[in-house]
């Protein structure tokens, strides 16, 4: 499993391309073949899954019971936004317009490593997000991992 971490603010050029940090590229499994699936993330960001990780997610969605209205809806919502992109010779990907609109990404993007995925944020949105979630780490850690 890929383990992404770290943060970086990169620019998005006029063609809608942005580089994936070298540190994260080197964390990629060779199975990913330089291909990612981008999709709508929670909290107005873009999730970037390496191909191999995405396969696992896809599997999970495939196993949901499609007779369940909520499951059906969830799968639609996730898949309709999913888009496959590949690294170019310079280690960049190009952001699909629908997704960068959703995330409000202009000419700057904040790239965050979050375990099995990379997240792309509008830097200002992220700052706001941080202000709205000020729970300190100790409390959170206790809530989530405690016991």
Partner DNA sequence: GGAATTCTCCCCACTTTTCCCCACTTAGTC
Partner DNA sequence: GACTAAGTGGGGAAAAGTGGGGAGAATTCC
Binding site for its own copies (CB under 8 A): 1, 3-7, 23, 37, 42, 58, 60-62, 64, 66, 68-84, 96, 98, 112-116, 119, 133, 135, 137-138, 140-141, 143-145
Return d(Cα 131, Cα 99) in angstroms, integer. Answer: 24
- Choose the contact partner of 80 out of DNA, its own copies, none; CB within 5 to 8 A by kind: its own copies
Return d(Cα 5, Cα 114) in angstroms, integer. Answer: 6
Establish if 64 lies at the interface with DNA (CB under 7 A). no
* Binds DNA by CB under 7 A, chosen from 2, 21, 118, 120: 21
Q: What angle do CA 109, 112, 117 make, to 5 degrees?
A: 115
* Nearer to its own copies among residue 43 and residue 107 (C-beta): 43
Establish if 26 lies at the interface with DNA (CB under 7 A). yes
What tokens does 107 get?
């000419």
CA distances from 108 to 45, 48, 68, 126, 133 (A): 13, 17, 40, 12, 22
**Residues 6 or more apart from 10 whose CB is under 8 A from it?**
18, 19, 21, 108, 109, 111
Establish if 10 lies at the interface with DNA (CB under 7 A). yes
Establish if 92 lies at the interface with DNA (CB under 7 A). yes
Residues at the contact surface with DNA, assessed by CB under 7 A: 8, 10-11, 13-16, 18-23, 25-26, 86, 88-92, 94, 97
């Amino acid at each position: 499993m890929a383990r992404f971490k770290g943060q970086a603010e990169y620019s998005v050029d006029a063609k809608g391309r942005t580089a994936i940090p070298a540190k994260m590229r080197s964390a990629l499994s060779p199975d990913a073949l330089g291909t990612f699936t981008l999709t709508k993330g929670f909290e107005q960001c873009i999730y970037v899954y390496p191909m191999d990780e995405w396969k696992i997610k896809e599997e999970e969605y495939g196993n949901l019971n499609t007779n369940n209205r909520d499951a059906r809806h969830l799968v639609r919502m996730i898949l309709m936004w999913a888009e496959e992109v590949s690294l170019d010779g310079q280690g960049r990907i190009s952001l699909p317009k629908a997704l960068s609109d959703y995330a409000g990404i202009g000419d700057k993007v904040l790239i965050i490593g979050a375990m099995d995925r990379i997240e792309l944020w509008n830097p200002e949105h992220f700052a706001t997000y941080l202000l709205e979630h000020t729970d300190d780490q100790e409390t959170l850690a206790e809530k989530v991992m405690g016991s």
